[in-house]
Structures are given as structure tokens and as C-alpha cells.
Structure 1
Amino acid sequence: LRMVPGLQVARINSNKWAVSSRGFNTEFANKMLVMIDGRSIYTPHYGGIRWDTHDVVLEDVEHIEVIRGPGGILWGANAINGIINIITKDARDTQGGFLSGGSGTEEQGFGTVRYGDKIDDKTYFRVYSKYFNIDDGTQPTGGNGGDGWDVFRGGFRIDGHPTERDHWTVLGDICDGDIGQRGTMYSVTAPISTPYTRQNSINGGNMLARWKRTLSEDSDMILQIYYDREKRLEQALDETLNTYDVDFQHRFPFCDSHEITWGLGYHLDRHTLNGTFDYSLDPRHEDLHLYSGFLQDRISLVQDELELTIGSKILHHHCSNFEFQPSSRLSWTPDERNTVWAAATRAIRTCSRFDKGSTTSWGVFQMGSSTISQEAYGDRHIEHEEVAAYEVGYRTKPTNKLVLDVAGFLNVYDELVASERTANISKPGYTIWPYMLANNLEGETYGAEISATYRASMRWRLNAGYTFLQMQLHPDGSNVASTRDAAIEGQSPHNQFHLRSFYDLSDDIELDFSLNYVDNLPEGDIPHYLRFDARLGWHIAKNTELSVVGQNLFDKRHPEFGAEAGQVPTEVERGFYIKLTHRF
């Protein structure tokens, strides 16, 4: 994902990442939708993705679809800045056995076992298990970060093709892991701050079933249901999330120039959190219902040349009543080598439980003889955030070896959630400096993204990309106090550049490298950095490969992102590992 123009990716410590699209990057980035095989992994707790609890077997991935900007009509809620859609292969395409394992300085041990076979001539399956153990990071001062972690994961997938028109899929995963965390607990009685190091526990599982019927060459129906459970036990919280989802889509032609797609969906999150002084939610348990529907019309204005897509998604959720998310997109393809497009979309982010009912300690300190507690509070009256997004793009293939893609965007945000300082609250023995969450920010982001793929020869392929981003956030006029969250402008880099090279030295030896430049981040005082990774692969035999990988080769270590309140940041270190894979 580091190599996708428009995405901001940073490693906070050994087990935490900040990933976003077109700005607003934090560990809890809440404006991007991420899906694995049609299952949303967006959490309603704070909005965003728990990257430490989700993983796939990379060799089973068919493709990763990245959409920068709003998801338009077909995608779910909260896809206002971008979408990452990870699609794994049909079990029919992963027959036989696969073994992979290795060890290194940072990735101390990892391994994957996967086996696929067929139940009958029309039904196929695969099962897998995967484990990894990642070393602790290093603090900026040189001390141990205490953030090492290990996770076991297992799962299966079954695909049936009973007729030429029908395809059904059932898949599931389980995971169990321990995640190191070092931070500070606060109290308004002595001692007011207590450093800690502990192993947090994560476990969970999911099950998904999907049926697709092809009615004709340009018509089909898809029905999907899934269940997901996640359990986390951390220093400051004990959290359980159960998710239920059902979705139906139908696509069919209308007249000679229209393709209609419509759908309905229902999503239920049952979330429970037992908190502490440092963090809590009120109420402790809540059921969050989301009803959705959409209608889209793809209109061929000029056959095979000019196409207009219009429609809207309709949501009914816990933040407010009905919300409409209209979208329009015009695409002109004058020939097979060139495409020009433009789009306008309104999208929303549904409010999270954190927005509405959280109490968070930002720290406790002494000021003279007084004890001061900085605390942030959610507000039950918070509403959804919204964006009006305008995009243009051009894709061209000037030669058979070169593909260029250029996109520009302007996003106008309203009702952004941020914190504002309010009047002090006196308590017996201490004083609270309160910060209230409210829909009190607005602003704009704009930028450009360029990518190029060049096939230099049959053995050598190059990929490059550049991202420019500018954010301008400001109070909406109702906020008369300081807005701490405006510092989020400084958490997304203005400039990013990457270059990747894939070169086959011979039929058996591969040499790949990636170069990644990221601008400085004012928030957290993170300097710019240049990251260089390299891989040497040797096909020892027809089905056996040995590879040696070096990561962050230019630096002994460097920071990529600042830590949240109460956390200890660590830096990304230079690392090496060796990996052996075998197929049978």
C-alpha cells in the first residue's frame, strides 16, 4: 500500500499503523473503507481499521483494488476518502500444497501452510494456517519499545460451481494473538502516572457466505451474509464486537443504453466495552443498526466512447435519519489508449461510539499544588461528517510499454468532528481541563496523484508514483475555543514519491527493489525519510524458491509517525529476513 499514489501509510510502532487516503492520517483514520472478500473490517468503536487483527495469505490474493476518493454508489458507508478491497482467489485456483517459512532480525519467525483439493468436480476447498512473531521496536532514546507481537491465524474457503450460472462461496477465519504495549496509565491520586508494559490479547473469527447467479451476459444477482466477532483485552479496556451483515445486489440492462444496478443492505454492530479511568464509553453496550439501499444507472451516451454513471446511496443509521449520497461520473474513451473522466460525489462518515460517548484521559500533571486532569468527552448530539468531492483524471497508454495515470481532486468537508476547550470543572482534589468533541471543523483538501508503469523489457518492469496533498482545516464559526484536532493537518505528508523495480536476472534469479520518499510531518516533529527495500529471489527448483530481503536499508532506524496520548512511539529499524517457499 505504500506504493499506491494517494495513500498515506506509516508505521507507528511494531504493531500499529496509520493508513489513510487523501489526508486525515492517524492510527484511528476513520474516512476509509477496507474490505476483505466483501467483508467490511471498519470498526464502529472509533471508526477506522484495527490493522493488527486482519491478515491474509498473500499468495492467495487475486488482486487488491484501491479506490482513491469517495466510493460512489456501490460501496458501503464511510467510504468518503478511499476504499481498499482485498479479493482472494477462488479455491479452484489454489489446488495442491503450499509451504512458506522464514526468520529474520525483525520478523523473527513466520510460516504459512495451505492445502487445496476438490470435494467433487464442481466443488473445491482450501485450508490454511499462518503464524508470525515480530520483534520489539526501539524507542527514539534507544530503549526497548515493548511492542513485539505474535499472532496465529487459520481459515478455509469452499467454492462451488453447481451450474454454469451459479457460484457459491463459504469462507471463514479465526485468529489469536498477543500484542505488546508500553504506555502510561493516569490517575488523579498519587501516583498520577504509572508506566506499564503488558501483552494485550486479541482473538476473533468470521464466517461469510455468498451466492452469485448469472442471468445473462450483462445481468446477475449477488446475495451475501457474514458474521464477525472480535475480542480485545488491553490495559485500558475490555472490548467485544459482534457484527452481522446481509447484502443483496441486482444488475440488469434497460433499453439499449442503460445498465441498472440496485441493492439493499442491513448491518448490525453489537459493541461492548468495559473501560477504566483512562478510557471508557457511555453506554457500556450499544447496538448500532445501519440500513442501506442504492440505485445506479450506467448510461451509454455514445457507444464504447462516452458513458455517464449516476445514482445515489441511501442510508438510515444511528447518527440521524435518512441520508442521501448522490454521485455522478462522466467517462470519455476516444480510443483504446486514452480515457478522460470527471466525477462529483457527496459522501458521509457515520459517527462512531467514540464520537458520541467516550471519556478519554489525555494526561494528568501537577501545576504547583494543583492536580490537573486533561480529559476529552464525546457528545450524544454529534452528527455525521460529510464531504463534497470533485475529481478529474486521465489515463493513457502512449506505447505498448508505458501506462500513465493522472488524477486531481478537491474535497470540501463540513461538520468534521474535533475537540474544543471548554470551561474548567472543579472536582474534589483536582481540576479537569475538558475538551468536548463537536462538529466544529470544516475545510478543504486538494491534490494530485501521478503513476506510471513501464515495461522496459521482457525481464524488467518499473513502477513509479508521486502524490501531492494540501489540507486546510479551520473552525466553522461556532468554535470559539482552541481546536486541538486541527493538528491533524500535520499528520499527512505534502509530498510522497515511490519507485519500484522488478528485474529477472535469469530464468531462476529475481532482483527487486523499492524506493519510497515521504515528506516531513510537523505533528510529532517527524523528519522526512527515504526508505529502500530490496529482495533477491532464487528458484532452486521448479516449485521451490529461496529469497533474501532487506528492509529500510538506508537507515539504522527512523520514525514514521507520532504516538497517540499515553503510548510510547518506536522507530522503524533496518531489518533482514530469509524466506523459503515450496509448492506441491
Structure 2
Amino acid sequence: LDWDASEVNQLALQGDLYGGKIAQPSASDIAVSGGNMVGGWSHVFSATSEARLQLYYDRTHRDIPGTFAEGLDTYDVDFQHQSVLARRHDVVWGLGYRLINDRVGNSAVLAFLPSHVRRRWYTGFVQDEIALMPNRLHLTLGAKVEHNDYTGYEVQPSGRVSWTPDRGGALWAAVSRAVRAPSRIDRELFAPGQPPYFLEGGPSFRSEELLAYELGYRLQAQDRLRVSLATFYNRYDNLRSVEMVNPPAPSPIILANGLKGKSYGAELAADYRLTNAWRLRGGYTEMRVRTAAKPGSTDTTRASSDPDRQLSLRSSLDLGAQLKLDADARYVGEIKNQQVPAYGELDLRVAWQPVAALELSLVGQSLLHRRHAEFSAPASRHEIERGVYGRVEWHF
């Protein structure tokens, strides 16, 4: 629901409900249900200043028979303000708050201890895009500060410079620091559900750290073709590891931060409008991930869980008579350590819009195979099945 309350105020409200079951190869079905609601308000103060407020609530429930059940409530508030100062500074700042209320039904197989927790996150950020040479050279500096209940304060700075040498091209470089704060799995997971434990969450598990470098170029040839190439190099520290508590005894084991690593690669993307009614978008990613144990670590699970390459091609065609046809083809390389073979898939969507406010569509997903694996080891994976569904959208 979108409402233009006035020329300077806009309101939006959206909600979803769902329920269903996920089949397992050797156990009872997993029951899933939940819903969410997003409310937003935006206000325009002037041509160079505006603010946005978003409220979000999500309820998720899942029950994995014989393993665990979970009811998770998430509350989220985000505020953002943008303004242009002294013509050369485009400043954006914001504040955020998130609360989760997580209740887990433990079993003999595994347990989250304590079973019921409330966790809070506080965030604040500021970013300034500085026009060193208007329409040519821009420098963007920013930082995000987060406080979580596990590790306290985390600071994530970033910097980016972009140069537009001519009307059709742009060159950019960026460096940033990011973290992944601990989750309940990292600190509060135990298996089996009662002592003595074989696996324990690490009580001193720290945030995983990323230092990312990026260099790229974007070209727009006339009005129909856009091409971009982005290269990246990432360094990781304090990655999750599985450590022996009393080496060389293989058990018990504990989750810790005993790995470091790096990844590098390139992403090529193109957007080509063949005609006013037909648009093609393609992408190719080549990536390598390498991890290694830090001194003192006993971890041996260091193989990458990401495919080396991915290829995608999307076609959007307006057939006339209010009909549209979308096709999405993709190829994903194998994941060797999880024994996931490479695969290609195709999604199709046909939509009919008899009136401006109503759209009817028929969607087919993963049409090339009855089912296929995308991740996880063979014993625990859930394969993606071919699916077809209809959708009705009414706008008012």
C-alpha cells in the first residue's frame, strides 16, 4: 500500500504471510510459517534535503522433527537523512536499532543454550560524497559504528574515489572494512543436547573481519549498451574454525576464530536494449577463495564452499497486448568440497496486465531439472525442485 499524503510526505505499508512444509529425504517434513510487515515514511524538506523512516517486524517459525524448533521475532527501526551542503558535499547519516526475541525447542540431537535469548543491535553511520571536481572527480568517505551484545562496538570505515573522464565512462576504486558479528550458532550451539558435548559454541568467539579492495570501470555506449568490469581482492581474518579442545584427541571440538583467508576475482556485467521492447542483461563472475589455519589452530576444514564461476543471462520482452515474457538462465560451477556438481537452470515468467492496477503471472522455476543441489554436503542438503506457481498483483 502506497499513499502520497502530500507533496512532501509519502507513506508505504507492505506485509506477507506464508506457511508450508519442506520435504526431507529421510525424515518427516520441516514445518515453516511466518509473516512480516514493513512500514515506511519519507519527507522532503527541500530540493537538497530529505528523510526516511522504516519500521519492520518479522515472525518466523520452523520445526525440524527430532532436531529443534524455533520461534524468532525480529523488530527493526531505521532512520536516514540526506542533505547537500555547500554544493560539494552530499551527506547521508542514519541510526538503527534491532531487537530479536529467539525461543528454541532443544532436542537430544542439539541445543542452543540458553534456549531463550533477547539480543540488541545499535547502529549509526555517516557518509559524505565530496565533489572535488563537479561531474568529474568524486571522493566518498564514510563509517558505520555498530554495538552488539556479543562483542560490543565495531567500527567499519570505507572510502571510494570515482573519476569520470568522459561522458560515457567512469573509473572507480574503493577500500572498506566490514565485520560479521557472532551469531547464536557461533557461541550458543551444543551437540548433542546434553553433556558430555561433542561440539560446543565458543564463548569467546569474535567477529569475523574483512578488508576489501575494489577497482572497476563502467562504460555506457550510446543509450542502449552499458558494460561494467569490477575486480576485487579481499582479506579475511578471525574466520570461523573448528578446534580440538584437547589435541590430538579428536573430541570434543569448539568453534573459534582460527582461520584467515583471501579471495580475488572479477565481475563482468552488460545491459543491452535491443529494441524498446526487448532488453538483455548478462553477467559473468570468476572468483577464487583461499583459507589457511592461523598459528596454533587445529582446524582442517579449509576448502572453499563457493563456486569458482557463475554465468547469467536475463531477457525481458514486451510482447504487446499487455503481455510480457521474462527468461532467466544461469550456470553455476561446481563446489568440490561439498560434492555439488555444476548445473544450469532456467526460470520463465509470463505476465498479463489487463488493466493498470492488475497483473496476472505464471512462473516456472528451475525448469531444466526435476531437482538439483546448490550447496551443503550430500547427507544434509535439501535439493531445489522444479516449481510452477501463479501470482496475482493488485495495485491501489
Is this a same-fold pair by TM over 0.5?
yes
1:234 aligns with 2:48: no
* Alpha-carbon distance in structure 2 between the residues aligned to 1:287 and 1:551: 38
Contact 1:421/1:483 (CA < 8 Å) preserved in 2? Answer: no
Residue in structure 2 matched with residue 258 of structure 1 by the alignment: 89
**Cα gap change, 1:305/1:521 in structure 2, threshold over 3 Å: closer, same or farther?**
same
1:396 aligns with 2:219: yes
Match among 237, 246, 254 for residue 414 of structure 1? 237
Contact 1:360/1:375 (CA < 8 Å) preserved in 2? Answer: yes
Residue in structure 1 matched with residue 343 of structure 2 by the alignment: 529
**Cα gap change, 1:160/1:505 in structure 2, threshold over 3 Å: closer, same or farther?**
closer
**Cα gap change, 1:558/1:252 in structure 2, threshold over 3 Å: closer, same or farther?**
closer
Residue in structure 2 matched with residue 482 of structure 1 by the alignment: 299
Please list, as runs of the form range in 1=range in 2, the aligned pairs for 1:55-204 lying within 5 A after superposition.
Answer: 157=1, 159-183=2-26, 197-204=27-34
Q: How many angstroms does 1:556 deviate by?
A: 5.7
Query: C-alpha offsets along residues 78-110 of structure 1, whole Å, 9 cap, x if unaligned?
Result: xxxxxxxxxxxxxxxxxxxxxxxxxxxxxxxxx
Match among 408, 421, 436 for residue 254 of structure 2? 436
Query: C-alpha offsets along residues 182-227 of structure 1, whole Å, 9 cap, x if unaligned?
Result: 44xxxxxxxxxxxxx2233333333333322211111112233333
Give the match's secondary structure for 2:198: strand
Unmatched 5+ residue regions in structure 1?
A: 1-156, 184-196, 363-372, 427-431
Please list, as runs of the form range in 1=range in 2, the aligned pairs for 1:368-379 lying within 5 A after superposition.
Answer: 375-379=198-202
Residue in structure 1 matched with residue 290 of structure 2 by the alignment: 472
Residue in structure 2 matched with residue 268 of structure 1 by the alignment: 99
Q: Identity of paired residues, percent?
A: 34
Residue in structure 2 matched with residue 288 of structure 1 by the alignment: 119
* Alpha-carbon distance in structure 1 between the residues aligned to 2:73 and 2:325: 44
Matched residue type, 1:229: R
Q: How many angstroms does 1:533 deviate by?
A: 4.7
Residue in structure 1 matched with residue 208 of structure 2 by the alignment: 385
Unmatched 5+ residue regions in structure 2?
A: none
Q: How many angstroms does 1:327 deviate by?
A: 0.7
Structure that is richer in strand per residue: 2
Match among 438, 441, 449 for residue 267 of structure 2? 449
Q: How many angstroms does 1:264 deviate by?
A: 1.9
Q: How many angstroms does 1:508 deviate by?
A: 7.1
Match among 155, 166, 178 for residue 335 of structure 1? 166
* Alpha-carbon distance in structure 2 between the residues aligned to 1:529 and 1:466: 15
TM-score normalised by length of structure 1: 0.60
Residue in structure 2 matched with residue 559 of structure 1 by the alignment: 373
**Cα gap change, 1:354/1:255 in structure 2, threshold over 3 Å: closer, same or farther?**
same
Give the match's secondary structure for 2:75: strand
Query: C-alpha offsets along residues 344-369 of structure 1, whole Å, 9 cap, x if unaligned?
Result: 1011111001100101359xxxxxxx
Aligned length: 390
* Alpha-carbon distance in structure 1 between the residues aligned to 2:359 and 2:130: 49
Residue in structure 1 matched with residue 76 of structure 2 by the alignment: 245
**Cα gap change, 1:564/1:265 in structure 2, threshold over 3 Å: closer, same or farther?**
farther
**Cα gap change, 1:375/1:466 in structure 2, threshold over 3 Å: closer, same or farther?**
same
Give the match's secondary structure for 1:397: strand
Residue in structure 2 matched with residue 322 of structure 1 by the alignment: 153
Structure number with the bigger relative contact order (C-alpha 8 A, sep ≥ 6) is 1
Give the match's secondary structure for 1:433: coil
Contact 2:145/2:154 (CA < 8 Å) preserved in 1? Answer: yes
Contact 2:258/2:299 (CA < 8 Å) preserved in 1? Answer: no
Q: How many angstroms does 1:330 deviate by?
A: 1.0
Q: How many angstroms does 1:583 deviate by?
A: 7.2
Q: Choose 289-298 or 440-449, whichever is displaced more.
A: 289-298
* Alpha-carbon distance in structure 1 between the residues aligned to 2:394 and 2:146: 46
Residue in structure 1 matched with residue 179 of structure 2 by the alignment: 348
Query: C-alpha offsets along residues 239-288 of structure 1, whole Å, 9 cap, x if unaligned?
Result: 12222222222222222311222222221112121211222111112221
Contact 2:190/2:197 (CA < 8 Å) preserved in 1? Answer: no
Q: Choose 396-405 or 540-549, whichever is displaced more.
A: 540-549
Contact 1:202/1:232 (CA < 8 Å) preserved in 2? Answer: yes
Give the match's secondary structure for 1:523: helix
* Alpha-carbon distance in structure 2 between the residues aligned to 1:315 and 1:396: 36
Matched residue type, 1:433: S
Contact 1:296/1:312 (CA < 8 Å) preserved in 2? Answer: yes
1:497 aligns with 2:346: no
Query: C-alpha offsets along residues 156-190 of structure 1, whole Å, 9 cap, x if unaligned?
Result: x3x3333211122333333333333344xxxxxxx
**Cα gap change, 1:254/1:560 in structure 2, threshold over 3 Å: closer, same or farther?**
closer
Give the match's secondary structure for 2:337: coil
Aligned alpha-carbon RMSD (Å): 3.1
